[in-house]
Homo-oligomer: A and B are copies of this chain.
Amino acid sequence: MALIVQKYGGSSVANIGRLQRVAQRVAHTYDAGNSVVVVLSAMAGVTDKIIKMAYEAVDQPQRSELDVLLSTGEQTTVALLSMILEAMGYAARSFLGHQVQVLTDSDFGNARIIEVEHEALCKQIDKKGIAVVAGFQGCDINGNITTLGRGGSDTTAVALAAALDADMCEIYTDVEGIYTADPRVCDRAHKIDQISYDEMLNMASLGAKVLQIRSVGFAKRYNVPVHVRSSFNDKEGTMVVPENAGMESLVVSAVTHDKNQARITLKKVPDQPGVAAKIFSPLAESGIVVDMIIQNTRPDGQTDLTFTVPEGDYETSLKVAKKIAKKIGADSVYGDDDIAKVSVIGVGMKNNTGVAATMFSTLAAENINIILISTSEIRISCVIDEKYTELAVRVLHSAFGLDEMQS
């Protein structure tokens, strides 16, 4: 007799046949005596098709109207699933973002949830009905339709689970859970049974393909247990849960990599107070998120300053950096996008020394040069030459004892 929120992604609702299978699974959960709230994405590919159509109409679609357009994707799937459930004899009803309602700010295309009204959903649950909610969408205080950004349906599901105090938020996707490394890179990678919110938050590059990172922050804040699992079989997936004692016996839980990185170096920057602000403020104003920064003092009293940005922002960043260099009197600017970031993540790190040393020596043993290093409480990341990415992931996966766990 639990309240379960189930979210199905685009590939799980890609066509009528798959929607019918989703209906079976929802019905199965309901028949077991649970209350079920379903959250759906748009059919796989539909969002891209809509965006393409908008760009066919105009060069730069107005974001508020793009959201009106985009929200039709989930509107379609929730209406269809409700029909199918009704035809199967279940009392189902669709709820759009503004009907729930999912109140957001007005940052169209990337809106953040302010509040989830749960009155309408509770009514539906109370009368033993199944609520089928359009993910990814909400409305602002003026009644404008908003969307939550790529993967936003995950956040809708977790936010609903939090608002309804659900017992479980199940995220159905096309993979079986979260892995110790990308299985395409490391054939010894295996599914993780349990992972903490913080580890998940640190696994952006590995996990974001499975679960929108923003939804994990939500889950952590409201203590929502999340179960990431496949919609194509009944296997248990990965539980994303609060940190617990069992987790700490493992020093490292996963090895991630991200090739979507570029670095930019400003040579011979005059070493004077306020120079960092002069460099990074214009980048921030251009909407560029700088990831890692390193500053080397030169014998001549000047410094070299290197930072990394997402590969997609590389060209823009280079332009901005060149303007800045001129202004502050730096000698030259150069950059490249043939780098990658490899990270080891684990809540066990907190109580274990020597993780960094093991990581550096493991890479050194393979003659992999470390360009930049950054650390957090439960993560160590190294920027390396992109060509060594796969090798680095494999040797780190072995070095931290993740291979042995394979069943």
Residues of A within 8 A of B (CB): 16, 19-20, 53-54, 56-62, 64-66, 68-69, 71-72, 75-76, 78-80, 82-84, 86-87, 93-94, 96, 98-99, 143, 145
Contact across chains for A53 and B80 when beta carbons are under 8 A apart: yes
**Cα A68 to Cα B80 with chains together (Å):** 9
Residues of B within 8 A of A99 (CB): 143
List 19 additional contacts besides A54-B83, A65-B93; criterion CB under 8 Å. A53-B80, A54-B80, A57-B83, A57-B87, A58-B87, A62-B82, A62-B86, A62-B87, A65-B80, A68-B75, A68-B79, A68-B96, A69-B75, A69-B79, A69-B80, A69-B83, A71-B75, A72-B76, A96-B145
Main secondary structure of the interface of A (DSSP, over half): helix
Q: Which of B19, B68, B83 is the one whose CB lies under 8 Å from A61?
A: B83
Q: List 28 A-B contacts (CB under 8 A).
A: A16-B56, A53-B80, A54-B80, A54-B83, A57-B80, A57-B84, A58-B83, A58-B86, A59-B87, A62-B82, A62-B83, A64-B93, A65-B82, A65-B83, A66-B79, A68-B75, A68-B79, A68-B82, A68-B94, A68-B96, A69-B79, A69-B83, A72-B72, A72-B76, A75-B75, A96-B145, A98-B98, A99-B143
The chain B residue with its CB closest to the CB of A98 is B98
Q: How far is the CA of A72 from the CA of B50 in the complex (A)?
A: 12
Complex contacts, A96 vs chain B, CB 8 Å: 68, 145
Q: Report the minimum CB–CB distance from A160 to chain B (whole Å).
A: 18
How far is it, in angstroms, between the C-alpha of A54 and the C-alpha of B100 when the chains are bound?
A: 23
Which residues on B sit within 8 Å (CB–CB) of A16? Answer: 53, 56-57
Contacts of A56 in B (CB 8 A): 16
CA distance A72 to B42 in the complex (A): 13
Query: Min CB distance, A145 to chain B, in Å?
Result: 8
Instruction: Collect the chain B residues with CB atoms within 8 Å of residue A86's CB.
Output: 58, 62, 65
Q: Please, which residue of chain B has its CB at the minimum distance from the CB of A69?
A: B79
Contact between A87 and B60 (Cβ–Cβ < 8 Å)?
A: yes
* Contact status of A65 and B94, CB under 8 A, knowing A19-B57, A57-B16, A80-B54: yes
For the complex of A and B, list the 9 residue pairs with the smallest distance between their C-beta atoms, beginning with the closest.
Answer: A68-B79, A58-B87, A72-B72, A69-B79, A65-B79, A65-B82, A62-B86, A65-B83, A61-B83
The residue of chain B having its C-beta at the shortest distance from the C-beta of A70 within the complex is: B79
Q: Which residues does chain B contribute within 8 Å of A58, judged by CB atoms?
A: 83-84, 86-87
Residue of A54, A56, A83, A86 with most partner-chain B CB within 10 A:
A83
Please give the distance in Å from A62's CB to the nearest CB on chain B. Answer: 5
The interface residues of chain B lying within 8 Å CB-to-CB of A65 are 79-80, 82-83, 86, 93-94
Query: Chain B nearest CB: distance from A8 CB in Å?
Result: 15
Cα A66 to Cα B98 with chains together (Å): 18
A28 to B68, CA, bound (A): 25
Give A94 to B68 CA distance when docked, in angstroms: 8
Chain B nearest CB: distance from A166 CB in Å?
A: 23
- Nearest CB of chain B from residue A85's CB, rounded to whole Å: 9
A98 CB contacts on chain B under 8 angstroms: 98
Q: Which B residues touch A82, using CB under 8 A? A: 62, 65, 68
